[in-house]
């Protein structure tokens, strides 16, 4: 009995230790629970959504008048201030009038001489008529007197025309503006002799109304037609779009215009059709050849689905969003995107009414992750008060330009696919209206031939830059950053991207 007790006393601690170790092993093998991720969500609801098309545009004077000298002579002085706004009838240039005044005086003297000769001929005819009637003078004498009177009368009319011409030439020496508008520089210096070869003096450009010229690509035209046929787009009644002009600082011009001309000819060089809008510009805020953005409003997209822009992410396979299922778990959902609408993004395919889409917190999600949701509350949009043509004030929403855009390339290539080209068109339309620098950074895969990967990243960044310049972004605002190395493998698509970031 004592032996057994001793044995038990020795074995019991060992059994207890084994039990503790076994319990620890079970706890170590049990997978740790993933933490719940806090996200904000928006519930999808279909609604009629205004459709706004934005195009890079350039202003043009509705009437640009070339001011030319009508007579030859010396230019005495320029009277107007170059670049100033001038009124119709305002004197712009003054030529030397002395030679032309001499011509007027000579023509006036010639007229007086012819008038005196006509009076003598008239009196002679008056004396000849009664004498010829009494046969005191022959019929020939009467015919001679009549002819002399008619010749002197014609000479008087000719002298009057020559005097009028001399007065016109004298008036042409004072060169006036025929229209209200803004003046250009003086092309001829004071003291220069003007002739038909150098008669161009300056240009006056009418400021109101102002033309807004922009081009629509053939692909965009076909896409619009397809959306109309499929019922995804409804144009305004009669196709009467309202054209808003967005200035370089993002503010809206206070007057709206309308499309007044559509070029029926297709430009095979640019692949576009030219459209022209006319807008009132009474204060002269718009000047010829400015770059602006034309916003066509009035169309709607019936029963459209839109989500905040930052809820949409992009990978090498395309765009996607995170959707919360009934078990409060995250699911990756591929989507087909459409146009940007202010700070929202139109979703053409991939979402249905009632879906809960993650807006904030999606960067931390993985497939099947548990989430804790809260409603997304959009920030108050900034607005500016713009004076409309009818005198009323309207609150105009100011959409912010995308702070960063990522463009993905096919593996081993430096050419843009359709999705990348479309993303750059949207980005360029936004970048036109800002004045800050745009930084372009390519990413190079660390794996493989490092030198070749860096060179490929540089070519991709240059391709993005060239495309932006072609779309109207000023090249001086674009800066190419050195490529950034990134590890390949599971992140291959990230090593094929180029980032565009708006500088501060």
Terminal alpha carbon distance of the chain: 88
Confidence (pLDDT) at 432: 66
Confidence (pLDDT) at 163: 96
Confidence (pLDDT) at 417: 83
Q: Give the residue-averaged pLDDT of 257-280.
A: 91
Lowest mean pLDDT among 196-205, 241-250, 470-479, 486-495: 486-495
Confidence (pLDDT) at 5: 45
Which position has the higher pLDDT, 425 or 89? 89
pLDDT for 9 beyond 90: no
The dotted CATH code for 70-93+175-202 is 2.40.50.100
Q: Give the residue-averaged pLDDT of 322-333.
A: 91
Confidence (pLDDT) at 489: 47
pLDDT for 43 beyond 50: yes
- 370-418 pLDDT per residue, tens: 988 888 877 544 333 333 333 333 323 333 344 567 888 888 888 888 7
Confidence (pLDDT) at 144: 92
Domain ranges of the chain: 42-61+208-375, 70-93+175-202, 97-172, 401-502
Fold of 97-172: Helix Hairpins (1.10.287)
Confidence (pLDDT) at 27: 52
- 334-383 pLDDT per residue, tens: 999 887 777 788 898 899 999 999 988 877 888 888 988 888 877 544 33
Rounded to 10 degrees, the C-alpha dihedral 77/82/85/88 comes to: 30
CA distances to 407, 439, 466 from 476, in Å: 21, 11, 12
Confidence (pLDDT) at 214: 93
Compute the distance between CA of residue 431 and CA of residue 434 in angstroms, rounded to an integer.
5
- 78-94 pLDDT per residue, tens: 999 999 999 999 999 99
State what percent of residues in the chain have pLDDT above 90: 44
Confidence (pLDDT) at 212: 96
Give the model's confidence band at 495: pLDDT under 50 very low, under 70 low, under 90 confident, else very high: confident
Rounded to 10 degrees, the C-alpha dihedral 151/154/156/158 comes to: -130
Query: Which tokens sit at 312?
Result: 């949409």
Does the fold of domain 401-502 match that of domain 42-61+208-375?
no
- pTM passes above 0.75: no
Confidence (pLDDT) at 399: 36
Residue 158: its H or E element? helix 139-172
* DSSP letter, residue 320: E
Give the model's confidence band at 490: pLDDT under 50 very low, under 70 low, under 90 confident, else very high: very low
Q: Among 3.40.50.1370, 3.30.1330.60, 3.40.50.300, 3.40.50.720, what is the CATH number of 401-502?
A: 3.30.1330.60
In whole numbers, what is the pLDDT of the chain averaged over residues? 83
- Reduced to 3 states (helix: H, G, I; strand: E, B; else coil), residue 170 is helix
Q: Give the residue-averaged pLDDT of 310-324.
A: 87
- 137-193 pLDDT per residue, tens: 889 989 999 999 999 999 999 999 999 999 999 999 999 999 999 999 999 999 999
Which position has the higher pLDDT, 243 or 19? 243
Annotate 230-252 with b (16+ C-beta within 10 A) or e (fewer): eebbebeeeeebebbbbeeebeb
Q: Which residue has the tokens 């009319």?
A: 157
Confidence (pLDDT) at 247: 87
Q: Give the residue-averaged pLDDT of 206-226.
A: 91
Confidence (pLDDT) at 393: 30
Confidence (pLDDT) at 52: 84
Give the model's confidence band at 448: pLDDT under 50 very low, under 70 low, under 90 confident, else very high: confident
The dotted CATH code for 42-61+208-375 is 2.40.30.170
């Amino acid at each position: 009995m004592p032996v057994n007790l001793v044995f038990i006393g020795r074995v019991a601690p060992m059994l207890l230790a084994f039990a503790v170790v076994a319990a620890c092993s079970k706890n170590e093998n049990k997978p740790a629970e993933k933490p719940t991720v806090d996200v904000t969500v928006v519930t999808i609801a279909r609604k009629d959504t205004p459709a706004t098309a934005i195009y890079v545009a350039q202003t043009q004077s509705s009437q640009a008048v070339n001011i030319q000298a009508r007579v030859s002579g010396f230019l005495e002085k320029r009277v107007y201030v170059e670049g100033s706004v001038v009124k119709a009838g305002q004197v712009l240039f003054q030529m030397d009038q002395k030679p032309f005044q001499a011509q007027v005086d000579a023509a006036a003297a010639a007229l007086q001489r012819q008038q005196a000769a006509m009076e003598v001929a008239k009196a002679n005819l008056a004396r000849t008529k009664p004498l010829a009637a009494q046969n005191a003078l022959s019929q020939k004498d009467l015919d001679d007197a009549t002819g002399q009177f008619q010749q002197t009368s014609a000479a008087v009319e000719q002298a009057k025309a020559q005097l009028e011409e001399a007065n016109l030439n004298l008036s042409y020496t004072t060169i006036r503006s025929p229209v209200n508008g803004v003046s250009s520089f003086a092309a001829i210096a004071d003291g220069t002799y003007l002739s038909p070869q150098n008669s161009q003096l300056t240009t006056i450009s009418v400021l109101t109304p102002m033309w807004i010229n922009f081009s629509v690509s053939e692909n965009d035209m076909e896409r619009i037609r397809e959306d109309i046929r499929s019922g995804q787009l409804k144009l305004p009644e009669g196709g009467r779009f309202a054209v808003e002009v967005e200035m370089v600082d993002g503010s809206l011009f206070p007057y709206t215009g309308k499309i007044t001309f559509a070029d029926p000819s297709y430009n095979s060089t640019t692949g576009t059709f030219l459209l022209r809008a006319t807008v009132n510009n009474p204060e002269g805020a718009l000047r010829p050849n400015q770059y602006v953005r034309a916003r066509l409003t009035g169309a709607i997209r019936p029963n459209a689905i839109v989500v905040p822009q930052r809820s949409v992410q992009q990978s090498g396979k395309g765009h996607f969003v995170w959707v919360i299922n009934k078990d409060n778990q995250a699911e990756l959902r591929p989507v087909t995107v459409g146009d940007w609408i202010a700070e929202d993004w139109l979703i053409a395919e991939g979402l249905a009414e009632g879906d809960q889409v993650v807006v904030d917190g999606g960067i931390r999600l993985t497939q099947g992750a548990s989430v804790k949701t809260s409603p997304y509350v959009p920030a108050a949009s900034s607005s500016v008060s713009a004076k409309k043509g009818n005198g009323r004030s309207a609150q105009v929403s100011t959409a912010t330009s995308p702070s960063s855009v990522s463009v993905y390339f096919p593996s081993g290539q430096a050419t843009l696919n359709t999705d990348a080209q479309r993303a750059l068109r949207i980005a360029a339309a936004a970048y036109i209206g800002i004045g800050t620098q745009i930084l372009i950074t390519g990413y190079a895969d660390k794996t493989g031939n490092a030198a070749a990967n860096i060179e490929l990243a540089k070519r991709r960044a240059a391709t993005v830059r060239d495309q932006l310049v072609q779309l109207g972004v000023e090249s001086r605002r674009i800066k190419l950053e050195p490529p950034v190395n990134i590890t390949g493998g599971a992140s291959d698509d990230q090593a094929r991207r180029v980032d565009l970031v708006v500088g501060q």
